[in-house]
Amino acid sequence: MGQPPLHAEKFHIQGGDIVIPVLGPTGSGKSTFINHLLGTESMEVGHQTTSCTTEPCPGIIIPIPNFPNLRDRRLVILDTPGFDDTYTKDPVIVKNIADWLSQYRRKGASIGGVLYLHDISTRRFTSTPNKNLHTLCHICGDASLKRTIMVTTNWDSITNNVLSEREEEMKARHWNGIIEKGACVRRFLLGSSESAWDIINVLLRRADGPPGVLQIQEEMVDRGIGFQNTEAGGNLLRVAEKKREQERQQEKTFKKKSLCVVQ
Ligand SMILES: Nc1nc2c(ncn2[C@@H]2O[C@H](COP(=O)(O)OP(=O)(O)O)[C@@H](O)[C@H]2O)c(=O)[nH]1
Ligand SMILES: [Mg+2]
């Protein structure tokens, strides 16, 4: 059913494609999840050196199982390079993803929904996951949050109920805003293709309607805005500049202190 992922030069977008980008930080389990859908080990897992970690990488599924109404269409699950935990690389990574999504829009492919993977064993919700959540919202826009699923992974890492409590906390304190706008939360259980398909089927049930469009696609393709002026791009660039400025200030203070010690 699943076909090996295709790299940019071999992959031709088709108008009827239903595209589901899989976003999230590096190590959250994106490639592992997609391999469960494809039924192969096609996506490189856990390595930093393959092109999939720098370039989005489409895995194609034809025919789409269980949905006779979608039989003439292809399901394209897009593996993406992980959002980074350094502020400076993020604009480059997200621009790369945005360029791909723009190409899909230009060819008339529909966004079936967006998956955002989150490792549930992560202890604290620091500024990095917060920044990533903002980026997700800026990529999708409010309207597409209805087609967004927060997929929690790594449920097998701890066996007691700490993780369920953490999931409740995520829903109540951090994801409450996007849940109110229509996003939902689902668990992916490692080793279960069924669990991966259950998540995708939530989106496929609605894939027959009007084509899905993300905010970043509307901005870049329909309105011709450059990435740096999109909500996602602009915000990431501002955050990166602020971070660089903080580092410059810290360096200055450090140099001053070192001089004082030497004298
Ligand atoms: N125990 C456990 N390990 C996982 C799970 N999902 C992914 N992994 C492991 O986490 C590492 C990173 O996974 P990968 O799919 O490459 O993450 P990506 O960077 O988001 O694509 C790999 O060693 C995977 O085997 C999970 O649900 N449970
Ligand atoms: Mg990966």
Distance CA 5, CA 35 (A): 10
Residue numbers of the domain that contains 141? 2-262
Which atom of ligand 1 lies nearest, measured to the CA of 190? 27
Q: Render 157-189 in DSSP notation, one character per residue.
A: S--STHHHHHHHHIIIIISHHHHHTT-EEEE--
Type of residue found at 97: I
Ligand 1: atom nearest CA of 24 is 20
Which DSSP category does 213 fall into? -
pTM greater than 0.75: yes
The rounded Å distance from CA 181 to ligand 2 centre is: 28
| 3 state SS of 80 | coil
Q: What is the CATH number of the domain that holds 104?
A: 3.40.50.300
| Number of structural domains found in the chain | 1
Q: What is the pLDDT along the chain (263 residues), one digit of tens a residue?
A: 555 555 555 678 999 999 999 999 999 999 999 999 999 888 878 754 343 467 899 999 999 999 999 999 999 999 999 987 666 788 999 999 999 999 999 999 999 999 999 999 998 888 888 999 999 999 999 999 999 999 999 999 987 789 999 999 999 999 999 999 999 999 999 999 999 999 999 999 999 888 899 999 999 999 999 999 999 999 999 999 998 899 899 888 888 777 776 66
